[in-house]
Amino acid sequence: GGIITQTPKFLIGQEGQKLTLKCQQNFNHDTMYWYRQDSGKGLRLIYYSITENDLQKGDLSEGYDASREKKSSFSLTVTSAQKNEMAVFLCASSPRTGGGAETLYFGSGTRLTVL
Amino acid sequence: QQNVQQSPESLIVPEGARTSLNCTFSDSASQYFWWYRQHSGKAPKALMSIFSNGEKEEGRFTIHLNKASLHFSLHIRDSQPSDSALYLCAVSMGYAQGLTFGLGTRVSVFP
């Protein structure tokens, strides 16, 4: 078995601030994802990466940057925090190409609050 | 762009009843269909998947997929209070496309 660790669990920032969320996985999975979940609703894909140094934009990528410098880690940067993006950010990983046939394993999330 | 819709938004059922959840998708080229379950304050976890038309049963859970109708469903037999959660359906187009999730159905099972 493995685990996905997201840090920090809670992140509080000021409007306009640049904020970074981190994710580590020890499954040795190839593909990693960042999703945003608003108020206990569905998940929207921000970025994903099918291998080290690869980045693919999801539907919600505007206002975010991502970085995959190692296979085991995937970070997400909110470039200028806005009050309407207070949400839970979920990191996930899957074994291979991100083609949708594999199970996604999720971390427990980072809850972002913008003051 | 894929559009995934779930119904109903919420459901309250008595213990022991059958629960039925629906998911529609917009792109007929979709290939992989999933249900995830998320208990309050926890990470979503994969529940079941189906990749071809028809039905698949695992314990108390059954998935039906009808690609021609752009619809799949999840049925829970003998619902338990521990089944109370947010149920998320998800669809993938295939290679390197990621998963598109619906907004979820919140299920509450009362004893």
Closest-CA residue of A relative to B99 is A100
CA A50/CA A99 separation, integer angstroms? 9
Q: What is the pLDDT along chain A (115 residues), one digit of tens a residue?
A: 899 999 999 999 999 999 999 999 999 999 999 999 998 778 999 999 988 989 999 989 999 999 999 999 999 999 999 987 789 999 999 987 656 778 899 999 999 999 9
Taking the CA of residue B95 and the nearest CA in chain A, the distance in Å comes to: 4
**What does the pLDDT look like over A2-13, one tens digit per residue?**
999 999 999 999
Residue pair A65/A57 in contact (Cβ under 8 Å)? The answer is no
CA B23/CA B5 separation, integer angstroms? 6
Helix (H) / strand (E) element for B20: namely: strand B19-25
Residue pair A31/A24 in contact (Cβ under 8 Å)? The answer is no
Closest-CA residue of B relative to A6 is B43
**What does the pLDDT look like over B48-89, one tens digit per residue?**
999 999 999 999 999 999 999 999 999 999 999 999 999 999
Instruction: Report pLDDT for B94.
Output: 76
Helix (H) / strand (E) element for A20: namely: strand A19-25
Going by pLDDT thresholds of 50, 70 and 90, the confidence category of residue B97 is low
- Tell me if A40 and B104 make a contact (CB, 8 A cut-off): yes
Taking the CA of residue B14 and the nearest CA in chain A, the distance in Å comes to: 23
Cβ within 8 Å of A, B 25-84:
31-32, 34, 36, 42-46, 49, 51
